Amino acid sequence: MTRTDWQAMLRRTSFIELNARQRARALLDDGSARELCGPFDRIESPWLEPQGVVPQSDDGVVVMKGALDGDPAVVVAVEQAFQGGGIGEVSGVKMATALSLAARDTRAGTPTPAVLLLETGGVRLQEANLGLAAVAEVCSAILELRALQPVVGVIAGSLGCYGGMSIAAALCTRLIMTEEARLGLNGPEVIESEAGIEEFDASDHPLIWSLDGGRQRVGTGLADTLVLDDVTALRTAVIDAVRAGMPAEQRSRRIKELRAALEAVDPARPPEPAALADVWARAGAKGDGR
Amino acid sequence: MQTLTYEFPASRPAARRTHVGVVGSGDLEVLMTPADGTARVRVRTSVDGFDTVWRTVLERFFARNPVAADFELNDFGATPGVVVLRLRQAIESGSSQGGTEGAA
């Protein structure tokens, strides 16, 4: 599915062009999706209006229970158009609670894997420490559920996944990306403003994608599956990732490999992005080929 | 940010509540809840000073589409054209022949 051929281009339905609610519905089986804490529950952020920012009725996170290929699942989708997908107190707690409830349902006899659609710049700066705490709760809830059921992360684009939420992405059992998607701890503009344009030129899109893009992240084993921006391709990849069940060892626990990866790179003379996969493979750092 | 409220006479009841749109750049979200006899509109907008434009756009819309409901608009700099499109989308998906809640 990664090769872009004309027929596939013409037939496909873009996933990137969907909003968060449409994305969550598109992944679940037809007619099975049921939204929790939806817009009419009006659980919006109490911190935005006092700062002169218009809130959104769902605080930018959509929680959808339903069936995935016939079995129960929960999908949590971040809306990238609202405040850059920033995670605040309410949106973060919605995600963390959905994961904890999936763990509770699993323990009670209804296995409930989770799918996280992560288009986010990380913590919403207007909510500062509350946002940081919420991201920590999300990470902790991922750890709770992934011991019982797969937690599948999807970064489809076009925003990408940065900041604290990139840590959440790295904790996922499996990570699916498109070529348009990006994944990194510090966003390009943060690096440029902190370290200067000599260190990183945030207007250089080929540079950004050569480092943070889906192809590079999958090629270097930091993500698992590269898919075409297509609703059917995404849904198939998500179903496959859930069906694959629990890995022998979670990526974030493969400390030896991650340490080898760090040791194989000299920060004073970093390799070309295209050479990184080879450098890491020689160092025995790359993932187990999943 | 500014909060504005308006009321217009409305004779056509909305069949069901509906939600459309996103509070994203140049867009807005609309929450429509059926009510009796009046179209009550509350606008929260990121752009200050457009009270008169909002009144004109909404007056014209509800003169043509007298849908009785509460409308909550969370706006992030939508142009009048986008506002009218989102309102029309809301009343269409909230009518008895309309689509499902939260279709877009």
Q: Where in chain A is the domain with CATH 3.90.226.10?
A: 6-253
Domain range A6-253, CATH class: alpha beta
Q: Which of A54, A57, A81 minimises the CB distance to B31?
A: A57
CA-based nearest distance B46→chain A, Å: 6
Q: Which of B27, B31, B104 minimises the CB distance to A40?
A: B31
The pLDDT, as a whole number, for residue A288 is 44
The 3-state DSSP class for residue A242 equals: helix
Distance, in Å, from the CA atom of A95 to the CA atom of A113, rounded to the nearest integer, reads 13
Contacts of A54 in chain B (CB under 8 A): 1, 23, 44-46, 74-76
Pick the CATH number of B2-93 from 3.30.230, 3.30.300, 2.40.50, 3.30.70: 3.30.230
pLDDT tier for residue B69 given thresholds of 50, 70 and 90: very high
**Which contiguous run of DSSP H or E holds residue A167?**
helix A164-171
Distance, in Å, from the CA atom of A95 to the CA atom of A151, rounded to the nearest integer, reads 12
Token pair in block for residue A113: 């894997």
- φ, ψ of residue A93 to 5 degrees: the values are -70, -35
Contacts of B33 in chain A (CB under 8 A): 40
Q: Which residues pair with B99 in a beta bridge?
A: none
Token pair in block for residue A19: 């909003």
Token pair in block for residue B68: 């009785």
CA-based nearest distance A114→chain B, Å: 22
Q: Tell me, rounded to whole angstroms, the distance of Cα A35 from its chain centroid.
A: 20
Distance, in Å, from the CA atom of A19 to the CA atom of B24, rounded to the nearest integer, reads 10
Residue A187's nearest CA partner among A138, A122, A92, A129 is A122
Q: Tell me, rounded to whole angstroms, the distance of Cα A182 from its chain centroid.
A: 9
Residues in A lying within 8 Å of B, measured between beta carbons: 19-22, 35, 38-40, 49, 52-57, 60, 79, 81-83
Query: Which of A54, A62, A64 is most worth mutating to test chain B (most B CB atoms within 10 A of its CB)?
Result: A54
Yes or no: say if B43 and B8 are a contact pair by the CB < 8 Å rule.
no
pLDDT tier for residue B98 given thresholds of 50, 70 and 90: low
Query: Which residues lie below 8 Å from residue A189, measured CB to CB, with a gap of 6+?
Result: A202
Interchain proximity A19–B22, CB inside 8 Å: yes
The pLDDT, as a whole number, for residue B95 is 87
- More reliable by pLDDT, A283 or B91: B91
The pLDDT, as a whole number, for residue B14 is 94
The pLDDT, as a whole number, for residue B62 is 98
Interchain proximity A55–B44, CB inside 8 Å: yes
Positions in chain A whose pLDDT score sits under 70: 1-4, 8, 285-290
Interchain proximity B22–A79, CB inside 8 Å: yes
The pLDDT, as a whole number, for residue A229 is 95
A66 DSSP 8-state letter: E
Yes or no: say if A236 and A159 are a contact pair by the CB < 8 Å rule.
no
The pLDDT, as a whole number, for residue A94 is 98
A187 to each of A92, A209, A258, B78, how far by Cα in Å? 20, 12, 21, 27
Nearest CA in chain B to A80: B24
Q: Which of B24, B45, B74 minimises the CB distance to A81?
A: B24
The pLDDT, as a whole number, for residue A68 is 98
Based on the number of CB atoms within 10 Å of its own CB, is A240 exposed (0-12), middle (13-18) or buried (19 or more)? middle
Q: Which of B31, B76, B102 minimises the CB distance to A54?
A: B76
pLDDT one-digit tens code per residue, B25-37? 999 999 999 999 9
Distance, in Å, from the CA atom of B71 to the CA atom of A61, rounded to the nearest integer, reads 21
The pLDDT, as a whole number, for residue A75 is 98
Say whether the ipTM exceeds 0.90: yes
